[in-house]
Chains A and B, each alone.
Chain A
Protein backbone atom coordinates (compact mmCIF):
# COMPACT_ATOMS: atom_id res chain seq x y z
CA UNK A 1 0.00 0.00 0.00
CA UNK A 2 1.24 3.46 -0.79
CA UNK A 3 0.82 6.55 1.37
CA UNK A 4 -2.11 7.67 -0.82
CA UNK A 5 -3.82 4.30 -0.51
CA UNK A 6 -3.43 4.42 3.28
CA UNK A 7 -4.93 7.91 3.31
CA UNK A 8 -7.94 6.91 1.15
CA UNK A 9 -8.52 3.77 3.23
CA UNK A 10 -8.41 5.80 6.45
CA UNK A 11 -10.91 8.33 5.11
CA UNK A 12 -13.24 5.58 3.87
CA UNK A 13 -13.11 3.84 7.25
CA UNK A 14 -13.94 7.16 8.93
CA UNK A 15 -17.11 7.43 6.80
CA UNK A 16 -18.04 3.80 7.47
CA UNK A 17 -17.65 4.25 11.22
CA UNK A 18 -20.04 7.22 11.24
CA UNK A 19 -22.46 5.53 8.84
CA UNK A 20 -22.68 2.36 10.93
CA UNK A 21 -23.37 4.41 14.06
CA UNK A 22 -25.83 6.66 12.13
CA UNK A 23 -23.96 9.70 13.45
CA UNK A 24 -21.21 10.34 15.93
CA UNK A 25 -23.24 10.15 19.14
CA UNK A 26 -21.52 8.00 21.78
CA UNK A 27 -18.56 7.08 19.57
CA UNK A 28 -15.00 6.78 20.83
CA UNK A 29 -11.87 5.55 19.05
CA UNK A 30 -9.23 3.49 20.85
CA UNK A 31 -5.96 2.63 19.14
CA UNK A 32 -4.00 -0.47 20.13
CA UNK A 33 -0.34 0.30 20.87
CA UNK A 34 1.55 0.96 18.91
CA UNK A 35 0.48 1.74 15.32
CA UNK A 36 -3.22 1.55 16.09
CA UNK A 37 -2.87 4.79 18.07
CA UNK A 38 -1.82 7.09 15.19
CA UNK A 39 -4.36 5.35 12.95
CA UNK A 40 -7.12 6.09 15.48
CA UNK A 41 -6.01 9.74 15.56
CA UNK A 42 -6.12 9.89 11.75
CA UNK A 43 -9.61 8.42 11.63
CA UNK A 44 -10.74 10.91 14.31
CA UNK A 45 -9.14 13.72 12.27
CA UNK A 46 -11.05 12.64 9.13
CA UNK A 47 -14.33 12.50 11.09
CA UNK A 48 -13.64 16.01 12.40
CA UNK A 49 -13.12 17.18 8.80
CA UNK A 50 -16.38 15.82 7.41
CA UNK A 51 -18.64 15.81 10.49
CA UNK A 52 -17.20 18.72 12.45
CA UNK A 53 -17.17 16.61 15.62
CA UNK A 54 -14.14 15.92 17.80
CA UNK A 55 -14.34 12.28 18.97
CA UNK A 56 -12.42 11.12 22.06
CA UNK A 57 -9.33 9.04 21.20
CA UNK A 58 -7.59 6.64 23.60
CA UNK A 59 -4.56 4.38 23.57
CA UNK A 60 -4.64 0.79 24.79
CA UNK A 61 -1.58 -1.29 25.73
CA UNK A 62 -2.41 -5.00 25.71
CA UNK A 63 0.97 -6.30 26.87
CA UNK A 64 -0.31 -7.63 30.20
CA UNK A 65 -3.26 -9.36 28.50
CA UNK A 66 -1.36 -11.46 25.97
CA UNK A 67 -1.80 -15.23 26.21
CA UNK A 68 1.64 -15.99 24.80
CA UNK A 69 4.01 -14.59 27.45
CA UNK A 70 6.07 -17.77 27.50
CA UNK A 71 5.99 -18.22 23.72
CA UNK A 72 7.23 -14.85 22.53
CA UNK A 73 10.94 -14.62 22.07
CA UNK A 74 11.18 -11.14 23.50
CA UNK A 75 9.51 -9.18 26.20
CA UNK A 76 7.21 -6.58 24.71
CA UNK A 77 8.05 -3.13 25.99
CA UNK A 78 5.07 -1.70 27.76
CA UNK A 79 3.94 1.52 26.13
CA UNK A 80 1.10 2.55 28.37
CA UNK A 81 -2.66 2.85 28.35
CA UNK A 82 -4.40 6.22 28.18
CA UNK A 83 -8.19 6.24 28.21
CA UNK A 84 -9.17 9.81 29.13
CA UNK A 85 -12.92 9.18 28.99
CA UNK A 86 -15.60 6.96 30.48
CA UNK A 87 -16.15 3.78 28.44
CA UNK A 88 -19.51 2.94 30.00
CA UNK A 89 -22.30 3.03 27.46
CA UNK A 90 -20.09 4.16 24.57
CA UNK A 91 -19.60 2.54 21.20
CA UNK A 92 -15.89 1.88 21.14
CA UNK A 93 -14.10 1.40 17.84
CA UNK A 94 -10.86 -0.49 18.38
CA UNK A 95 -8.25 0.44 15.79
CA UNK A 96 -5.20 -1.62 14.84
CA UNK A 97 -2.84 -1.77 11.90
CA UNK A 98 -2.89 -5.48 11.01
CA UNK A 99 -5.50 -8.14 11.79
CA UNK A 100 -3.86 -11.59 11.76
CA UNK A 101 -4.60 -14.36 14.28
CA UNK A 102 -7.09 -12.26 16.25
CA UNK A 103 -5.25 -12.84 19.51
CA UNK A 104 -4.29 -9.18 19.87
CA UNK A 105 -7.95 -8.20 19.52
CA UNK A 106 -9.01 -10.85 22.06
CA UNK A 107 -6.46 -9.39 24.48
CA UNK A 108 -7.63 -5.85 23.70
CA UNK A 109 -11.24 -6.74 24.49
CA UNK A 110 -10.14 -8.30 27.79
CA UNK A 111 -8.20 -5.13 28.60
CA UNK A 112 -11.11 -2.85 27.64
CA UNK A 113 -13.66 -4.52 29.87
CA UNK A 114 -11.32 -3.95 32.83
CA UNK A 115 -11.93 -0.24 32.31
CA UNK A 116 -15.68 -0.26 31.87
CA UNK A 117 -18.66 -1.71 30.03
CA UNK A 118 -18.95 -0.28 26.54
CA UNK A 119 -22.35 -0.43 24.79
CA UNK A 120 -20.60 -2.04 21.80
CA UNK A 121 -17.05 -2.77 20.63
CA UNK A 122 -16.27 -2.57 16.91
CA UNK A 123 -13.04 -3.23 15.07
CA UNK A 124 -11.31 -1.22 12.36
CA UNK A 125 -8.02 -2.38 10.81
CA UNK A 126 -5.85 -1.04 8.03
CA UNK A 127 -4.86 -4.50 6.76
CA UNK A 128 -6.60 -7.86 7.17
CA UNK A 129 -4.09 -10.56 6.27
CA UNK A 130 -6.20 -13.62 7.19
CA UNK A 131 -5.11 -16.72 9.16
CA UNK A 132 -7.49 -16.15 12.07
CA UNK A 133 -7.13 -18.44 15.08
CA UNK A 134 -10.15 -17.03 16.92
CA UNK A 135 -13.73 -16.25 15.86
CA UNK A 136 -13.03 -12.53 15.35
CA UNK A 137 -13.74 -10.36 12.30
CA UNK A 138 -13.24 -6.69 11.54
CA UNK A 139 -16.16 -4.32 10.97
CA UNK A 140 -14.06 -1.95 8.87
CA UNK A 141 -11.08 -3.04 6.75
CA UNK A 142 -8.70 -0.80 4.80
CA UNK A 143 -7.48 -3.59 2.57
CA UNK A 144 -7.71 -7.37 2.50
CA UNK A 145 -4.26 -8.77 1.77
CA UNK A 146 -3.95 -12.52 1.17
CA UNK A 147 -0.70 -13.70 2.74
CA UNK A 148 1.08 -16.88 3.70
CA UNK A 149 2.13 -17.49 7.28
CA UNK A 150 5.78 -17.20 6.32
CA UNK A 151 5.25 -13.60 5.29
CA UNK A 152 5.44 -10.56 7.51
CA UNK A 153 3.21 -7.55 6.92
CA UNK A 154 5.00 -4.35 7.88
CA UNK A 155 2.92 -1.22 8.32
CA UNK A 156 4.86 2.03 8.42
CA UNK A 157 3.19 5.20 9.67
CA UNK A 158 4.78 8.62 9.56
CA UNK A 159 4.10 9.24 13.28
CA UNK A 160 6.22 6.22 14.22
CA UNK A 161 8.36 5.36 11.20
CA UNK A 162 8.78 8.72 9.41
CA UNK A 163 6.89 7.48 6.32
CA UNK A 164 3.65 5.79 5.28
CA UNK A 165 3.54 2.43 3.53
CA UNK A 166 2.67 -1.25 3.84
CA UNK A 167 5.13 -3.93 2.69
CA UNK A 168 5.04 -7.70 2.69
CA UNK A 169 8.32 -9.42 3.43
CA UNK A 170 9.18 -13.08 3.23
CA UNK A 171 11.07 -14.39 6.21
CA UNK A 172 12.63 -17.69 7.06
CA UNK A 173 10.52 -19.60 9.57
CA UNK A 174 11.86 -18.82 13.04
CA UNK A 175 12.14 -21.49 15.68
CA UNK A 176 11.03 -20.21 19.04
CA UNK A 177 11.53 -22.51 22.02
CA UNK A 178 9.63 -22.37 25.22
CA UNK A 179 11.09 -19.68 27.40
CA UNK A 180 11.50 -20.52 30.99
Chain B
Protein backbone atom coordinates (compact mmCIF):
# COMPACT_ATOMS: atom_id res chain seq x y z
CA UNK B 1 0.00 0.00 0.00
CA UNK B 2 1.12 3.53 -0.61
CA UNK B 3 -0.03 7.03 0.18
CA UNK B 4 -1.16 8.73 -3.04
CA UNK B 5 1.41 11.48 -3.07
CA UNK B 6 -0.48 13.63 -5.55
CA UNK B 7 -3.54 13.84 -3.33
CA UNK B 8 -1.79 14.69 -0.11
CA UNK B 9 -1.87 18.31 0.99
CA UNK B 10 1.43 19.90 1.85
CA UNK B 11 1.36 20.63 5.57
CA UNK B 12 2.24 24.28 5.09
CA UNK B 13 3.47 25.84 8.31
CA UNK B 14 3.19 29.61 8.22
CA UNK B 15 6.43 31.35 9.08
CA UNK B 16 5.71 33.71 11.93
CA UNK B 17 6.86 37.26 11.79
CA UNK B 18 10.58 36.88 12.29
CA UNK B 19 12.21 38.71 15.12
CA UNK B 20 15.00 40.80 13.65
CA UNK B 21 18.36 39.63 14.87
CA UNK B 22 20.53 42.06 16.76
CA UNK B 23 23.59 41.64 14.63
CA UNK B 24 22.14 41.13 11.17
CA UNK B 25 21.76 43.70 8.44
CA UNK B 26 18.42 43.89 6.64
CA UNK B 27 18.30 41.45 3.75
CA UNK B 28 20.65 38.97 5.40
CA UNK B 29 18.19 37.90 8.06
CA UNK B 30 18.50 34.42 9.44
CA UNK B 31 15.58 32.16 8.78
CA UNK B 32 13.43 30.47 11.34
CA UNK B 33 13.20 26.77 10.44
CA UNK B 34 9.47 26.23 10.77
CA UNK B 35 9.22 22.44 10.54
CA UNK B 36 9.45 20.15 13.55
CA UNK B 37 9.69 17.05 11.34
CA UNK B 38 11.14 16.18 7.96
CA UNK B 39 8.72 13.67 6.46
CA UNK B 40 8.94 14.57 2.77
CA UNK B 41 10.25 17.37 0.58
CA UNK B 42 6.72 18.33 -0.51
CA UNK B 43 6.43 20.25 2.80
CA UNK B 44 9.45 22.45 1.99
CA UNK B 45 9.33 25.70 0.06
CA UNK B 46 12.05 26.41 -2.48
CA UNK B 47 13.53 28.97 -0.03
CA UNK B 48 13.68 26.33 2.68
CA UNK B 49 15.39 23.92 0.28
CA UNK B 50 17.88 26.72 -0.40
CA UNK B 51 18.49 27.06 3.35
CA UNK B 52 19.24 23.33 3.56
CA UNK B 53 21.72 23.64 0.66
CA UNK B 54 23.51 26.63 2.23
CA UNK B 55 23.66 24.93 5.61
CA UNK B 56 25.09 21.83 3.90
CA UNK B 57 27.82 24.07 2.39
CA UNK B 58 28.83 25.03 5.93
CA UNK B 59 28.76 21.36 6.97
CA UNK B 60 31.13 20.51 4.11
CA UNK B 61 33.53 23.09 5.54
CA UNK B 62 33.31 21.29 8.86
CA UNK B 63 33.88 17.93 7.14
CA UNK B 64 37.02 19.32 5.48
CA UNK B 65 38.65 20.03 8.86
CA UNK B 66 41.31 17.70 10.26
CA UNK B 67 38.89 16.88 13.10
CA UNK B 68 35.42 17.17 11.55
CA UNK B 69 33.51 17.77 14.76
CA UNK B 70 31.60 20.76 16.14
CA UNK B 71 29.57 20.96 19.38
CA UNK B 72 26.33 22.24 17.79
CA UNK B 73 24.13 19.35 19.00
CA UNK B 74 25.92 18.58 22.25
CA UNK B 75 23.46 17.11 24.74
CA UNK B 76 20.93 16.17 22.05
CA UNK B 77 20.06 12.56 21.53
CA UNK B 78 19.45 11.11 18.08
CA UNK B 79 17.87 7.67 17.80
CA UNK B 80 18.14 5.84 14.50
CA UNK B 81 15.38 3.22 14.13
CA UNK B 82 15.61 1.17 10.94
CA UNK B 83 13.11 -1.53 10.02
CA UNK B 84 14.85 -2.11 6.67
CA UNK B 85 18.39 -2.81 5.61
CA UNK B 86 20.60 0.18 4.88
CA UNK B 87 24.24 1.05 4.71
CA UNK B 88 24.70 4.59 3.43
CA UNK B 89 21.59 6.25 4.87
CA UNK B 90 21.99 4.78 8.33
CA UNK B 91 25.72 5.30 8.53
CA UNK B 92 25.59 8.85 7.16
CA UNK B 93 22.95 9.81 9.73
CA UNK B 94 25.11 8.30 12.45
CA UNK B 95 28.33 9.91 11.25
CA UNK B 96 26.56 13.24 10.72
CA UNK B 97 24.98 13.24 14.17
CA UNK B 98 28.32 12.35 15.78
CA UNK B 99 30.10 15.12 13.85
CA UNK B 100 27.62 17.50 15.48
CA UNK B 101 28.43 16.00 18.93
CA UNK B 102 24.95 14.50 19.41
CA UNK B 103 24.53 11.25 21.33
CA UNK B 104 23.51 8.50 18.93
CA UNK B 105 21.49 5.37 19.63
CA UNK B 106 21.10 2.80 16.87
CA UNK B 107 18.21 0.36 16.83
CA UNK B 108 17.91 -2.38 14.25
CA UNK B 109 14.32 -3.62 14.35
CA UNK B 110 15.40 -7.24 13.92
CA UNK B 111 17.29 -7.25 17.25
CA UNK B 112 14.84 -5.07 19.24
CA UNK B 113 11.53 -5.78 20.94
CA UNK B 114 9.94 -5.32 17.51
CA UNK B 115 10.92 -8.95 16.98
CA UNK B 116 8.69 -9.80 19.98
CA UNK B 117 5.75 -8.07 18.36
CA UNK B 118 5.94 -4.55 19.80
CA UNK B 119 3.93 -2.08 17.72
CA UNK B 120 5.51 0.92 16.00
CA UNK B 121 3.64 3.32 18.28
CA UNK B 122 4.81 1.53 21.44
CA UNK B 123 8.37 1.43 20.13
CA UNK B 124 8.30 5.17 19.40
CA UNK B 125 6.85 5.95 22.87
CA UNK B 126 9.60 3.82 24.43
CA UNK B 127 12.27 5.66 22.47
CA UNK B 128 10.83 8.99 23.60
CA UNK B 129 10.76 7.82 27.23
CA UNK B 130 14.43 6.89 26.86
CA UNK B 131 15.20 10.53 26.06
CA UNK B 132 15.47 10.84 22.28
CA UNK B 133 15.17 14.37 20.83
CA UNK B 134 15.35 13.37 17.16
CA UNK B 135 14.10 10.08 15.71
CA UNK B 136 15.34 8.96 12.31
CA UNK B 137 13.10 6.19 11.03
CA UNK B 138 13.10 3.87 8.04
CA UNK B 139 10.13 1.59 7.57
CA UNK B 140 8.85 -0.71 4.79
CA UNK B 141 5.30 0.67 5.15
CA UNK B 142 4.55 3.95 3.39
CA UNK B 143 3.40 6.57 5.88
CA UNK B 144 4.95 4.91 8.96
CA UNK B 145 7.05 8.02 9.80
CA UNK B 146 3.84 10.10 9.77
CA UNK B 147 2.37 7.75 12.38
CA UNK B 148 5.60 7.99 14.40
CA UNK B 149 5.48 11.81 14.19
CA UNK B 150 1.93 11.80 15.56
CA UNK B 151 3.06 10.20 18.82
CA UNK B 152 6.68 11.38 19.19
CA UNK B 153 7.36 14.55 21.19
CA UNK B 154 10.57 15.46 19.39
CA UNK B 155 11.46 15.63 15.70
CA UNK B 156 10.98 12.76 13.25
CA UNK B 157 13.14 12.43 10.14
CA UNK B 158 11.97 10.10 7.41
CA UNK B 159 14.89 7.89 6.40
CA UNK B 160 12.74 6.20 3.74
CA UNK B 161 9.21 4.78 4.03
CA UNK B 162 8.04 2.02 1.70
CA UNK B 163 7.41 3.28 -1.83
CA UNK B 164 6.55 6.74 -0.61
CA UNK B 165 9.35 9.15 0.28
CA UNK B 166 13.07 9.50 0.93
CA UNK B 167 13.50 13.23 1.49
CA UNK B 168 17.16 13.29 2.57
CA UNK B 169 18.11 11.34 -0.58
CA UNK B 170 16.24 13.84 -2.79
CA UNK B 171 17.98 16.76 -1.07
CA UNK B 172 21.44 15.24 -1.41
CA UNK B 173 20.70 14.41 -5.05
CA UNK B 174 19.71 18.03 -5.73
CA UNK B 175 22.80 19.23 -3.85
CA UNK B 176 25.06 16.94 -5.91
CA UNK B 177 23.47 18.09 -9.20
CA UNK B 178 23.92 21.76 -8.28
CA UNK B 179 27.54 21.05 -7.36
CA UNK B 180 28.27 19.48 -10.74
CA UNK B 181 26.07 21.37 -13.21
CA UNK B 182 27.28 24.57 -14.89
CA UNK B 183 26.19 27.70 -12.96
CA UNK B 184 25.14 25.47 -10.06
CA UNK B 185 21.50 25.28 -11.04
CA UNK B 186 19.11 22.55 -12.18
CA UNK B 187 16.62 25.06 -13.60
CA UNK B 188 15.78 24.09 -17.18
CA UNK B 189 18.08 21.03 -17.03
CA UNK B 190 16.81 17.71 -18.32
CA UNK B 191 16.94 15.22 -15.46
CA UNK B 192 16.07 11.60 -16.28
CA UNK B 193 15.13 9.10 -13.59
CA UNK B 194 15.46 5.68 -15.18
CA UNK B 195 14.35 2.28 -13.94
CA UNK B 196 12.08 0.89 -11.22
CA UNK B 197 10.11 4.10 -10.72
CA UNK B 198 7.07 2.26 -9.35
CA UNK B 199 8.74 1.05 -6.16
CA UNK B 200 11.01 4.06 -5.77
CA UNK B 201 10.59 6.45 -2.85
CA UNK B 202 13.72 8.13 -4.22
CA UNK B 203 11.93 8.91 -7.50
CA UNK B 204 8.84 10.28 -5.74
CA UNK B 205 10.80 12.61 -3.45
CA UNK B 206 13.07 13.66 -6.31
CA UNK B 207 10.07 14.67 -8.45
CA UNK B 208 8.98 17.08 -5.71
CA UNK B 209 12.45 18.55 -5.12
CA UNK B 210 13.51 18.75 -8.77
CA UNK B 211 10.29 20.23 -10.15
CA UNK B 212 10.33 22.79 -7.31
CA UNK B 213 13.87 23.74 -8.40
CA UNK B 214 12.69 24.13 -12.01
CA UNK B 215 14.23 21.03 -13.60
CA UNK B 216 12.74 19.33 -16.68
CA UNK B 217 12.05 15.95 -15.05
CA UNK B 218 11.60 12.73 -17.07
CA UNK B 219 10.61 9.40 -15.54
CA UNK B 220 11.49 6.40 -17.71
CA UNK B 221 11.09 2.64 -17.33
CA UNK B 222 9.06 -0.33 -18.52
CA UNK B 223 5.31 0.46 -18.54
CA UNK B 224 4.70 -1.99 -15.67
CA UNK B 225 7.14 0.01 -13.50
CA UNK B 226 5.51 3.38 -14.30
CA UNK B 227 1.97 2.43 -13.29
CA UNK B 228 0.04 5.37 -11.85
CA UNK B 229 2.70 7.91 -12.76
CA UNK B 230 0.87 9.07 -15.92
CA UNK B 231 -2.01 10.23 -13.75
CA UNK B 232 0.36 11.95 -11.34
CA UNK B 233 2.20 13.63 -14.21
CA UNK B 234 -1.09 14.98 -15.57
CA UNK B 235 -2.03 16.28 -12.12
CA UNK B 236 1.48 17.65 -11.62
CA UNK B 237 3.58 17.75 -8.45
CA UNK B 238 2.27 20.83 -6.67
CA UNK B 239 1.07 22.05 -10.08
CA UNK B 240 4.49 21.48 -11.66
CA UNK B 241 4.64 19.19 -14.70
CA UNK B 242 7.00 16.36 -15.51
CA UNK B 243 7.20 13.77 -18.30
CA UNK B 244 6.62 10.01 -18.12
CA UNK B 245 7.79 7.74 -20.95
CA UNK B 246 8.77 4.16 -21.68
CA UNK B 247 11.05 5.23 -24.51
CA UNK B 248 14.60 5.15 -23.21
CA UNK B 249 15.78 6.93 -26.38
CA UNK B 250 13.37 9.87 -25.93
CA UNK B 251 14.26 10.11 -22.26
CA UNK B 252 18.05 10.01 -22.59
CA UNK B 253 18.40 12.26 -25.63
CA UNK B 254 20.22 15.46 -24.61
CA UNK B 255 19.81 14.70 -20.91
CA UNK B 256 21.93 16.69 -18.44
CA UNK B 257 21.49 14.23 -15.58
CA UNK B 258 20.76 10.49 -15.72
CA UNK B 259 19.79 8.82 -12.47
CA UNK B 260 19.50 5.04 -12.60
CA UNK B 261 17.28 3.39 -9.99
CA UNK B 262 17.79 -0.01 -8.43
CA UNK B 263 15.46 -2.79 -9.52
CA UNK B 264 13.87 -3.53 -6.15
CA UNK B 265 13.66 -7.29 -6.31
CA UNK B 266 12.39 -7.45 -2.70
CA UNK B 267 9.32 -5.37 -3.60
CA UNK B 268 8.50 -7.19 -6.87
CA UNK B 269 5.34 -9.21 -6.29
CA UNK B 270 5.63 -11.02 -9.60
CA UNK B 271 4.66 -10.36 -13.17
CA UNK B 272 6.19 -6.89 -13.48
CA UNK B 273 9.36 -7.90 -15.32
CA UNK B 274 9.93 -10.93 -17.58
CA UNK B 275 13.49 -11.22 -16.27
CA UNK B 276 16.34 -9.10 -14.97
CA UNK B 277 18.27 -9.94 -18.11
CA UNK B 278 15.53 -8.59 -20.35
CA UNK B 279 15.36 -5.45 -18.21
CA UNK B 280 19.13 -4.97 -18.51
CA UNK B 281 18.96 -5.41 -22.28
CA UNK B 282 16.14 -2.93 -22.81
CA UNK B 283 16.59 -0.36 -20.02
CA UNK B 284 20.04 -0.85 -18.46
CA UNK B 285 22.21 2.29 -18.48
CA UNK B 286 25.03 1.25 -20.78
CA UNK B 287 27.79 3.36 -22.36
CA UNK B 288 25.93 3.17 -25.64
CA UNK B 289 22.69 4.51 -24.18
CA UNK B 290 24.52 7.16 -22.16
CA UNK B 291 25.99 8.50 -25.41
CA UNK B 292 22.47 9.76 -26.25
CA UNK B 293 22.76 12.21 -23.37
CA UNK B 294 24.82 15.39 -23.47
CA UNK B 295 28.56 14.63 -23.49
CA UNK B 296 28.96 16.34 -20.10
CA UNK B 297 25.91 14.67 -18.55
CA UNK B 298 26.35 13.32 -15.05
CA UNK B 299 25.38 9.81 -13.94
CA UNK B 300 23.79 9.20 -10.55
CA UNK B 301 22.50 6.23 -8.59
CA UNK B 302 21.03 6.33 -5.07
CA UNK B 303 22.57 2.94 -4.27
CA UNK B 304 22.83 0.13 -3.61
CA UNK B 305 23.51 -0.84 -7.23
CA UNK B 306 22.79 -4.06 -9.11
CA UNK B 307 25.70 -3.62 -11.46
CA UNK B 308 25.01 -5.17 -14.84
CA UNK B 309 21.23 -4.80 -14.34
CA UNK B 310 20.14 -1.16 -14.16
CA UNK B 311 23.63 0.23 -14.68
CA UNK B 312 26.71 -1.15 -16.44
CA UNK B 313 29.81 -1.37 -14.21
CA UNK B 314 31.79 0.80 -16.64
CA UNK B 315 29.16 3.56 -16.39
CA UNK B 316 28.89 3.34 -12.60
CA UNK B 317 32.61 3.98 -12.19
CA UNK B 318 33.11 6.05 -15.36
CA UNK B 319 34.22 9.67 -15.66
CA UNK B 320 30.62 10.93 -15.75
CA UNK B 321 29.64 9.15 -12.53
CA UNK B 322 29.05 11.26 -9.42
CA UNK B 323 27.84 8.33 -7.33
CA UNK B 324 30.71 8.69 -4.84
CA UNK B 325 29.90 12.42 -4.48
CA UNK B 326 26.30 11.51 -3.64
CA UNK B 327 27.48 9.40 -0.73
CA UNK B 328 29.87 12.08 0.57
CA UNK B 329 27.25 14.82 0.23
CA UNK B 330 24.79 12.62 2.10
CA UNK B 331 26.67 13.26 5.34
CA UNK B 332 26.67 17.05 4.84
CA UNK B 333 22.95 17.16 3.95
CA UNK B 334 21.99 15.02 6.93
CA UNK B 335 24.11 17.17 9.27
CA UNK B 336 22.35 20.26 7.88
CA UNK B 337 18.91 18.76 8.47
CA UNK B 338 19.68 17.54 11.99
CA UNK B 339 21.05 20.98 12.82
CA UNK B 340 18.04 22.83 11.38
CA UNK B 341 15.54 20.53 13.09
CA UNK B 342 17.33 20.87 16.45
CA UNK B 343 16.86 24.64 16.29
CA UNK B 344 13.39 24.56 14.74
CA UNK B 345 10.79 27.03 15.94
CA UNK B 346 7.32 25.71 15.36
In the complex, A160 Cα to B27 Cα: how many Å?
Answer: 11
Residues of A within 8 A of B340 (CB): 75
Residues of A within 8 A of B25 (CB): 156, 160-161
| Residue B19 CB within 8 A of the other chain | yes
Q: Judging by beta carbons under 8 Å apart, are B71 and A74 in contact?
A: no
In the complex, A153 Cα to B49 Cα: how many Å?
Answer: 32
| Residue B234 CB within 8 A of the other chain | no
| Residue A128 CB within 8 A of the other chain | no
Number of interface residues of B (CB under 8 A): 37
| Residue A134 CB within 8 A of the other chain | no
Q: Judging by beta carbons under 8 Å apart, are B23 and A179 in contact?
A: no
- Contact residues of B: prevailing secondary structure: loop
Do A64 and B62 contact each other (CB < 8 Å), given the known contacts A74-B29, A74-B30?
yes
Which of B19, B29, B55 is close to A176, meaning CB atoms less than 8 Å apart?
B19
Which of B30, B32, B58, B72 is close to A65, meaning CB atoms less than 8 Å apart?
B72
Closest to B26 in A: A161
Do A72 and B343 contact each other (CB < 8 Å), given the known contacts A80-B58, A97-B23, A180-B154?
yes
Q: Judging by beta carbons under 8 Å apart, are A77 and B65 in contact?
A: no
Q: Judging by beta carbons under 8 Å apart, are B342 and A70 in contact?
A: yes
| Residue A7 CB within 8 A of the other chain | no
In the complex, A176 Cα to B16 Cα: how many Å?
Answer: 13
Residues of B within 8 A of A63 (CB): 58, 72
In the complex, A130 Cα to B179 Cα: how many Å?
Answer: 44
Do A77 and B23 contact each other (CB < 8 Å), given the known contacts A69-B343, A179-B343?
no
Q: Judging by beta carbons under 8 Å apart, are A74 and B21 in contact?
A: yes
Q: Judging by beta carbons under 8 Å apart, are A77 and B36 in contact?
A: no
Q: Using a CB-CB cutoff of 8 Å, which residues 35-64 of chain A contact chain B?
A: 35, 61, 63-64
Which of B23, B32, B55, B62 is close to A35, meaning CB atoms less than 8 Å apart?
B23
Interface string of B1-42 (1 = CB under 8 A from A): 000000000000000001101111100111111001000000
Q: Judging by beta carbons under 8 Å apart, are B54 and A180 in contact?
A: no
| Residue A137 CB within 8 A of the other chain | no
Q: Judging by beta carbons under 8 Å apart, are B70 and A114 in contact?
A: yes
Interface string of B56-98 (1 = CB under 8 A from A): 0110011001010111110000000000000000000000000
What are 15 A-B pairs with beta-carbon distances under 8 A?
A34-B23, A35-B23, A63-B72, A64-B62, A69-B73, A69-B342, A73-B19, A75-B343, A77-B31, A77-B54, A78-B55, A110-B71, A114-B65, A152-B22, A179-B343
Given contacts A64-B58, A78-B55, A80-B58, 19 further A-B contacts (CB under 8 A): A61-B58, A64-B70, A69-B72, A69-B73, A74-B19, A74-B32, A75-B51, A75-B340, A76-B21, A77-B28, A77-B31, A110-B71, A111-B70, A114-B65, A115-B65, A155-B23, A174-B19, A180-B344, A180-B346
A-binding residues in B (CB < 8 A) = 18-19, 21-25, 28-33, 36, 51, 54-55, 57-58, 61-62, 65, 67, 69-73, 100, 154, 339-340, 342-346
